Structure 1
Amino acid sequence: MRGTVAVVDDDEVLCATIVRVLRLEGFGVPWSAMTGGAALRRVADSGSPDVLVLDVALPDTDGRDLLGALRSRGVAAPALLLSAKSSVADKVLGFSAGADDYLTKPFAMEELLARLDVLVRRTPGGVTGEVALDPVRHVVAGPSGSRPLSPTEYRLLAALVSRRGEVVRRASLISSAWPPGSFVRENTLDSYVARLRRALLDVGSRASIATARGVGYRFD
């Protein structure tokens, strides 16, 4: 077997086609889903695959938000995002959210297969086990309960969680949490990080957000 791949795409025909081609080409497909909520249930029931294929435009959430939620649940598999948007800004947003690859629609199946072969060979990173993110309700949960987050807070935390143990530069965090072209002051980012630290305390998480002075922040 060339590896296992989970597919999340709300286009029923495309999702079924990808699953069929993957199986014909020697990949295992332990589960597939058409919404972010369904993907979270599938991974809870069936576990993590070797690679994730996530559509960005899902009906109940953004694929980048879903990626952060999956990472928070210990899914460390490399992720490939699918999107009809091909601008550099959209690709940067995807990579800033923790994606390992980005493929624009429409695409050739041969290219998808080649990219998946590369991702299967990558070593998964660490997992969190301290917080769980809900990409549909924008909620962070921990041992002591849960707390709602604003969309900006959610995406900022998801960007940090997706790259746990790595110093994420300030510019990358801003690209992940705010729309392209937004003017974000230095102290605005710091203020949001302070809010996230309080949120982690509120839900009883032992995880922390460390400051790399002059560079960015790190989720530990």
Structure 2
Amino acid sequence: MPAESRPVRILVVDEEETFTHVVRLALELEGWEVKVVHSAADAIADRSRPDIVLLDMMLPDGLGTDVVAALRSAGSRAVVVFVTGRAEHEERAAAYAAGADGYLTKPFSLEEVVDHLQMIVRRLGLAATSRVAGDLVLDVDAGMAWRADELLPLTSLEFELLRELVEHRGARRSTGELVRAVTARGIRVPREFVARMLERIRVAVNGVGRPLLVGDEAGWQVG
């Protein structure tokens, strides 16, 4: 199924107004919804339910690690990425220990930040090119698949077969139907290897959580 149709919500937490202004413009050009706050207190009090938080380590009223800890304690599952000039190993370790998901050190280009966030958006299943089935996320542009945030080790052909099943979630597809559908997209699939590829896909997908991909000689289905 396609990704849900809503803007990606990003919260930027940094006291430097010049930096936040430039970052905000760059992120809004991607079509994302951006909110900026300048203190730890405002970040903790925020109720915008962001998908991603860009967070500085040193804030006027506290540390970024305090913000992450508070967000996690409140049940927030937002992806938290530090964007900071603090490059020390101890700072980085403290950030991850508090619950951060990423750490970018200044100086960096805006392109680097945007590229980093684009991959997160794809992994979350919020891109226009995303296909989602429960906690299984595919990005048809990147040719990558994740389940429960874990990247699945699929070949390009295996990805295309899984994409066909996800895009027809709930429908049982025979091996022949899968081959014809993928071939119609201009991708050649060696029929003699399809059964083996489907079994590899099942192991990769179901190895991360409850069985989501089921199938046998009669047909295959993402349920």
Aligned residues: 120
Contact 1:2 1:117 in 2 (8 A): no
Measured on the aligned residues, the alpha-carbon RMSD in Å equals 1.9
Cα deviation, residue 90, structure 1: 2.1
Q: What is the aligned partner in structure 2 of residue 57 from structure 1?
A: 58
- Which residue of structure 1 aligns with residue 25 of structure 2? 20
Matched, 1:81 2:82: yes
Who is 1:33 aligned against?
Answer: 37
2:72 touches 2:99 (CA, 8 Å); kept in 1? no
Identity %: 34
Q: Quote the offset at 1:16 in angstroms.
A: 1.3
**Secondary structure, counterpart of 1:107 in structure 2:** coil
With a CA cutoff of 8 Å and minimum separation of 6, indicate the structure with the bigger relative contact order: 1
CA contact (8 A) 2:83 2:105 kept: yes
- Structure 1 alignment gaps of length 5 or more: 125-220
Cα deviation for residue 2 of structure 1 reads 6.6
1:54–1:82 Cα contact (<8 Å) kept: yes
1:92 CA displacement = 1.7
Is contact 2:26–2:114 with CA below 8 Å preserved after alignment? no
* Cα distance in 1 for residues equivalent to 2:59 and 2:7: 27
Deviation at 1:89, TM superposition (A): 2.6
Q: Report if aligned partners of 2:65, 2:95 keep a CA contact under 8 Å in 1.
A: yes
Q: Distance in 1 between matches of 2:69 and 2:22?
A: 26
CA deviation vs aligned residue, 1:119-175 (integer Å, no higher than 9, x gap):
224459xxxxxxxxxxxxxxxxxxxxxxxxxxxxxxxxxxxxxxxxxxxxxxxxxxx
SS across alignment from 1:52: strand
The answer on whether the counterparts of 1:8 and 1:55 sit within 8 Å (CA) in structure 2 is yes
CA shift for structure 1 position 26: 2.0
1:208: which partner in 2?
none
SS in 2 for 1:106: coil
Superposed, 1:139-218 pairs within 5 Å as none
Instruction: Look up the match of 2:15.
Output: 10
Task: Work out the CA distance in 2 between the residues paired with 1:40 and 1:97.
Answer: 14
The answer as to whether partners of 2:14 and 2:39 remain within 8 angstroms in 1 is yes
What is the TM-score normalised by the length of structure 1?
Answer: 0.51
Which of these two proteins has the greater Rg computed from alpha carbons? 2
Q: Deviations over 1:25-73 (max 9, x none)?
A: 22221x21000111223x23xx211101011100001001111111222
